[in-house]
Amino acid sequence: MQENSLEQRVRLGRLFDVYGGLLTEKQQKCMELYFCDDLSLAEIADELEVSRQAIHDLIKRVEHTLERYESKLALLARNDNDKKLLVQANRLLAECLAQNQGPAKLQQVRRILDELSGESR
């Protein structure tokens, strides 16, 4: 269960990086204290002069909001896919250069780069 909660926290942090600017000022402040300053819920509650339960509820609401943004906009998924494609293109180029392979691998790399640049989107 610990790993799952760590994965959830990492995902929430990544979603906050992508969509944090769409949150209210209070939500942003709370999330910055939670992620950037690594404060506990009780410490955030003291800082913002509210109850620990209020902070817990706020973080849960923000988590749902960020997931809703991602389900509609898919920016995080697109970013992950783009990174995967860049790694693939880099690998193909390295193979091509190492083995003096030409046009076929370079065409694969070109298709990947076209996809990343939006030519095929």
* DSSP string covering 9-32: HHHHHHHHHHHGGGS-HHHHHHHH
Inter-residue contact 27 to 62 (CB < 8 Å): yes
What pLDDT is stored for residue 44 in this prediction? 97
What pLDDT is stored for residue 1 in this prediction? 38
CB proximity list for 33: less than 8 A, separation 6 or greater: 39, 43, 44, 47, 48
| Selection from 17, 63, 59 nearest residue 36 by Cα | 17
* Domain boundary assignment for the chain: 2-73, 76-117
- The fold adopted by the segment(s) 2-73 is Arc Repressor Mutant, subunit A (1.10.10)
What pLDDT is stored for residue 101 in this prediction? 66
How far apart, in whole angstroms, are the C-alpha atoms of residue 15 and residue 83?
16
Q: What pTM, to 2 d.p., does this model score?
A: 0.74
Tokens of 42: 């009780």
What pLDDT is stored for residue 66 in this prediction? 97
Average pLDDT for runs of 10 along the chain of length 121? 72 95 96 93 96 96 97 95 86 78 74 72 50
